[in-house]
């Protein structure tokens, strides 16, 4: 609700920093509605234009705002690339994001026997070059992780658990899944191999 065009020079400078590989997390969240929806749309449009100008991929957030989210992205489609972070949507949302050229970020949500069932059926549809794995730490600790950490805090160390679940659902080896998701992340974010 507070972002204005006057804030863009500061954001532009941050995006120019050598360690900055993406713009975001930015998007629309109509579930929590921490900011008025019109203000969210205005801020998102400013952020999309800035990311396009700077040539940075986007780390995108969308919750219960699919129509407005995709409409905003389509206005800048020719100049944007990015990842639909923490994807938990349905088949139509997945198809729309893939059509727009987005990568799809999968988190520990996929390990949830209750909420993750739909996602479990969709993950095999994500092309290998467009699938990314993420923790969304400190949130979305995989529900089937054993033993459960006492802090219930999700950390990057648990990414291998998410990768194993994704690999199993896709009928891949863990090594193949790790290789293609790592390669996809390196390409999208311009990261060099260690």
pLDDT digit string, tens, across residues 33-60: 899 999 999 999 999 999 999 999 999 9
**What would the two tokens of residue 128 be?**
């290998």
Is 164 buried (19+), middle (13-18) or exposed (0-12) by CB count in 10 A? middle
82, 95, 35: which is closest to 63 by C-alpha?
35
Residue 186 is given by DSSP the state H
Whole-number pLDDT of residue 77: 78
- Consecutive 10-residue runs of the chain (194 residues): their mean pLDDT? 91 94 94 93 94 94 96 86 95 96 96 91 97 92 89 92 97 98 97 87
Whole-number pLDDT of residue 74: 92
CA–CA dist 66, 57 (Å, integer): 19
Question: Model's pTM, two decimal places?
Answer: 0.94
Whole-number pLDDT of residue 101: 94
Whole-number pLDDT of residue 60: 97
């Amino acid at each position: 609700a507070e972002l204005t065009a006057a804030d863009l020079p500061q954001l532009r400078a941050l995006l120019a920093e050598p360690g900055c590989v993406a713009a975001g997390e930015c998007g629309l969240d109509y579930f929590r509605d921490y900011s008025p929806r019109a203000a969210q749309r205005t801020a998102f449009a400013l952020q999309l234009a800035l990311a396009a100008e700077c040539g940075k991929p986007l780390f995108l957030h969308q919750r219960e705002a699919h129509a407005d989210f995709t409409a905003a992205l389509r206005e800048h489609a020719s100049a944007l690339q990015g990842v639909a972070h923490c994807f938990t949507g349905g088949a139509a949302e997945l198809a729309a994001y893939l059509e727009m050229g987005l990568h799809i970020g999968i988190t520990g949500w996929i390990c949830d026997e209750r909420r993750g069932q739909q996602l479990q059926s969709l993950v095999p549809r994500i092309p290998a070059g467009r699938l990314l794995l993420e923790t969304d730490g400190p949130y979305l600790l995989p529900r089937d992780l054993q033993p459960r950490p006492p802090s219930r805090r999700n950390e990057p160390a648990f990414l291998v658990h998410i990768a194993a679940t994704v690999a199993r659902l896709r009928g891949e080896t863990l090594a193949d899944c790790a290789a293609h998701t790592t390669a996809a992340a390196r390409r999208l974010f311009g990261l060099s191999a260690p």
